[in-house]
């Protein structure tokens, strides 16, 4: 039973959709896009379970494809993106970790013939490292399939995967995807998120980090340690939550506890709980606003942004909610389309000092799963690292991947490492992602022949038997987008998924629903002032930054002073709890909103 009047979204996404309460919930299955006849876009060799291409595969080894198409040294001499900053890549990874975490398993070697799973086509899907490979030992490369979901509602006949986190954009990377997770992340009894030494990321024991005595960062999403750019982006939002909560505390004239009985259970909400939840609401609104209005325009071309109605309204509310829209992550968005960001990964994660000249170069490959860049010496490098990320270009969105991630993914601390592009290609086949041409058709585009790929045509023809075999991930990265954005196939898939995440989210920050809506003044203040640049300024203590942190500054003179960037007008959230502190349970029919109308006094 879902409370129809709840003011706050649940942490696991349950009941966001009152008609279909599990849609988008953590731990539910992913879905497939549907073609124009309503059939799922899925392609297993046997129709239900065997990876596309069969086993052993008739498709080329993914490492061979990667070696042939994606070598950094075969790309343009300057692979820096002239408009997108490294922070675009970093935010993209953070966002991916807000809405998709496919269940995977690990811990055994599928190439080991003595392993009980060795011959199990539902578990192992190894591929070949080619004989002439210059980096990895030729022969069997272990690959463990993402397991098939076996329980849950509406399981299709074909193999489907679980998404362990919510499909909503709900700052799950910060708050987690369950009540238990948020409890562990929140400073006990306060409205603050836990922090570690010197206001840094809190640490926990375990997790496989190589530095800091086996301690790893603790966050709402446990892939945080994958790369330091990701850890830094987590830290920024922990600090932003605590900054805003402290402001709300200062302007709240409350010292009350709200008690209520719901479904026969007694609950108490303290002043701290209310401030925590109100802050969470603002943070989620900021993340949604920044994603759709500042980040996505750096990924998609303008006509796609407009065609899919992705920009927020300039002012006021948006009524587009549809309870029949299933927000759930579409499988191929996760196996391929939103992995476009891997091509943006930079080889280095360096430090730029406040003179904007002095540079210390750190390589990505030496810093995987290692938080030292932002933890060492009480976080003394944080500012310099943030300055570099926001000042230095990302790599171009193209089929080339830097050596750090193509030849050395996780080489530190797990030698010999991996090839992220080869994994992406194999993952697509594992999860039944149809081929590139099928997606062209899905997006209303014509099929491509080898010749249509221009310079890459002979390379593709040297590895694939037919253009209809080309894997989505590699084919779509070979397409050219307007002004360096993703090409038309990924644009269509990314836009469709982000449209679902907006229309299918009852709590979307622009909703006018009187149970939880921001006032018009509040939502307009968020629209006017929420920016990642300002968040970086406030939480990292930078003096100067680019006004749009996803874009490259042309030089230092195009930077703005942090003090000149507007902040959200938090005085609009002044709370004044007085009078009755008893909240009536849902069953009585008295709406929570009624109560909040008198406790939230907008100035």
Contact residues for ligand HEM (CB under 6 A)? 89, 92-93, 96, 100-102, 226-227, 334, 338-339, 341-342, 344-345, 420, 423, 427
Residue 591 tokens read as: 């709406």
Query: Closest separation between CB of residue 334 and ligand HEM, Å?
Result: 4
For residue 499, the number of C-alpha atoms closer than 13 Å in the C-beta half-sphere is 15
Q: Which of 186, 132, 162 is nearest to 22 (CA)?
A: 162
CA separation for the pair 294, 548 (Å, rounded): 7
196 vs 228, beta carbon nearer ligand HEM: 228
CB of 233 to ligand HEM, least distance (A): 10
Q: Identify the helix (H) or strand (E) that includes residue 48.
A: none
Smaller CB distance to ligand HEM: residue 338 or 400?
A: 338
Nearer to ligand HEM, 278 or 419 (CB): 419
Match 């909400």 to its residue by tokens.
269
Q: Which residue has the tokens 């750096």?
A: 298
Q: How far is the CB of 462 from ligand HEM (least distance, A)?
A: 25
Please identify, using beta-carbon distances, which residue of 227 and 258 lies nearer to ligand HEM: 227
The CA-atom distances, in angstroms, between 599 and each of 252, 255, 357 are: 10, 12, 51
User: Taking the complex as a whole, how short is the minimal distance between the CB of residue 440 and ligand HEM, in angstroms?
Assistant: 21
Quickly count: other Cβ atoms within 10 Å of residue 18's Cβ: 12
- Smallest distance from ligand HEM to CB 565, Å: 25
Question: Which residue number, 227 or 282, has a Cβ lying nearer to ligand HEM?
Answer: 227
**Closest to ligand HEM by CB, 332 or 599:** 332
Separation between Cα atoms, residue 431 and residue 566, nearest integer Å: 45
* Neighbour tally for 480: CB within 10 Å: 13
Q: Which position's Cβ is nearest ligand HEM?
A: 341
Minimum distance of ligand HEM from residue 111's CB (angstroms):
16
Q: How far is the CB of 531 from ligand HEM (least distance, A)?
A: 19
Can you list the positions of beta strands (E) in 12-155? 28-29, 80-85, 127-129, 139-141
Nearer to ligand HEM, 257 or 362 (CB): 362
DSSP conformation class of 252: -
Nearer to ligand HEM, 140 or 251 (CB): 140
Cβ 273 to ligand HEM shortest distance, Å? 31
> Which one, 84 or 241, has the nearer CB to ligand HEM?
84
- Nearest residue to 51 via CA among 434, 313, 368, 375: 434
Closest residue by Cα to residue 311 from 498, 529, 517, 91? 498
Rounded CA gap, 181 and 199, in Å?
20
Residue among 50 and 423 whose Cβ is closer to ligand HEM: 423
Regarding beta strands 258-262 and 582-583, do their DSSP bridges make them parallel or antiparallel, or are they unpaired?
Answer: parallel
Task: Report the sign of the C-alpha dihedral through residues 80, 425, 300, 505, in that order.
Answer: negative
What b/e readout covers 73-112, taking b as 16+ CB neighbours within 10 angstroms?
eebeeebebeebbbbbbbbbbbbbbbbbbbeeeeeeebee
The helix/strand/coil state of 351 is strand
DSSP lists the bridge partners of residue 31 as: 330
Q: Kind of pairing, strands 127-129 and 544-545?
A: unpaired
- Read off the tokens for 354: 């406040």
In whole angstroms, how close is the CB of 136 to ligand HEM at the nearest point?
A: 16
* C-beta closer to ligand HEM: residue 106 or 446: 106
Residue by residue, DSSP assigns 372-434 as HHHHHHHHTTHHHHHHHHHHSEEEPSSS-B-HHHHT-BTTTTSTT-B-HHHHHHHHHHHTTPP
Least separation in angstroms between residue 588's CB and ligand HEM is 42
Q: How far is the CB of 88 from ligand HEM (least distance, A)?
A: 8
> Using DSSP, how many helices (H) and how many strands (E) does the chain show?
19, 15
542, 545, 551, 553 alpha-carbon torsion, rounded to 10° = -130
Looking at the Cβ atoms of 89 and 286, the one nearer to ligand HEM is: 89
State the minimum distance, in angstroms, from the CB of residue 497 to ligand HEM.
Answer: 10
């Amino acid at each position: 039973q879902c409370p129809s009047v709840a003011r706050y979204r649940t942490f696991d996404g349950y009941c966001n959709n009152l008609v279909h309460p599990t849609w988008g919930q953590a731990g539910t299955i992913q879905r497939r896009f549907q073609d124009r006849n309503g059939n799922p876009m899925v392609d297993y060799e046997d129709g239900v379970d065997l990876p596309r291409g069969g086993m052993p595969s008739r498709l080329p080894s993914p490492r061979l494809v990667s070696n042939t198409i994606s070598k950094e040294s075969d790309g343009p001499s300057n692979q820096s993106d002239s408009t997108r900053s490294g922070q675009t890549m970093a935010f993209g990874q953070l966002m991916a970790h807000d809405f998709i975490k496919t269940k995977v398993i690990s811990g055994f070697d599928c190439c080991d013939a003595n392993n009980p799973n060795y011959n199990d086509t539902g578990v192992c899907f190894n591929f070949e490292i080619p004989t002439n490979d210059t980096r990895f030992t030729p022969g069997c490369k272990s690959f463990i399939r993402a397991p098939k979901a076996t329980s849950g509602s509406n399981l299709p006949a074909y193999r489907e995967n679980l998404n362990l986190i919510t499909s909503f954009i709900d700052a799950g990377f910060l708050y987690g995807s369950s009540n238990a997770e948020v409890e562990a992340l929140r400073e006990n009894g306060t409205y603050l998120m836990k922090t570690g030494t010197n206001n840094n990321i809190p640490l926990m024991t375990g997790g496989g980090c190589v530095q800091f005595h086996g301690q790893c960062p603790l966050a709402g999403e446990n892939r945080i340690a994958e790369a330091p750019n990701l850890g830094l982006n987590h830290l920024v939002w922990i600090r932003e939550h605590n900054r805003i909560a402290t402001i709300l505390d200062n302007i709240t004239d409350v010292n009350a506890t709200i008690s209520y009985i719901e479904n026969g259970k007694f609950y108490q909400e303290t002043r701290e709980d209310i401030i925590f939840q109100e802050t969470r609401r603002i943070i989620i609104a900021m993340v949604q606003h920044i994603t759709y209005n500042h980040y996505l325009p750096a990924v998609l071309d303008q006509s796609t942004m407009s065609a899919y109605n992705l920009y927020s309204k300039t002012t006021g509310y948006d009524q587009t909610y549809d309870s029949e829209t299933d927000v759930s992550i579409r499988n191929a968005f996760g196996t391929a389309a939103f992995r476009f960001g891997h091509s943006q990964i930079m080889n280095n994660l360096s430090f730029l000092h406040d003179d904007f000249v002095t540079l210390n170069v750190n390589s990505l490959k030496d810093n995987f799963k290692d938080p030292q860049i932002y933890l060492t010496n009480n976080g003394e490098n944080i500012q310099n690292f943030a300055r570099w990320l926001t000042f230095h270009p990302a790599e171009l969105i193209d089929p080339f991947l830097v050596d750090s991630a193509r030849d050395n993914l996780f080489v530190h601390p797990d030698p010999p490492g991996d090839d992220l592009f080869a994994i992406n290609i194999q993952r697509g086949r594992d999860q039944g992602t149809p081929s590139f041409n099928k997606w062209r058709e899905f997006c209303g585009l014509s099929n491509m022949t080898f010749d249509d790929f221009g310079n890459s045509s002979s390379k593709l023809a040297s590895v694939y038997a037919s253009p209809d075999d080309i894997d989505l991930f590699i084919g779509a990265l070979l397409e050219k987008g307007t002004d360096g954005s993703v090409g038309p196939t990924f644009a269509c898939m990314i836009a469709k998924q982000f449209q679902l995440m907006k229309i299918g989210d009852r709590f979307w920050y622009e909703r006018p629903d009187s149970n939880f809506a921001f006032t018009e003044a509040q939502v307009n203040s968020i629209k006017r002032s929420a920016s990642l640049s300002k968040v970086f300024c406030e939480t990292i203590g930078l003096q100067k930054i680019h006004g749009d942190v996803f874009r490259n500054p042309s030089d230092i003179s195009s930077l703005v002073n942090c003090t000149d960037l507007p902040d959200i007008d938090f005085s609009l959230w002044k709370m004044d709890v007085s009078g009755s502190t008893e909240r009536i349970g849902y069953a009585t029919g008295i709406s929570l909103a009624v109560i909040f109308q008198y406790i939230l006094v907008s100035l």
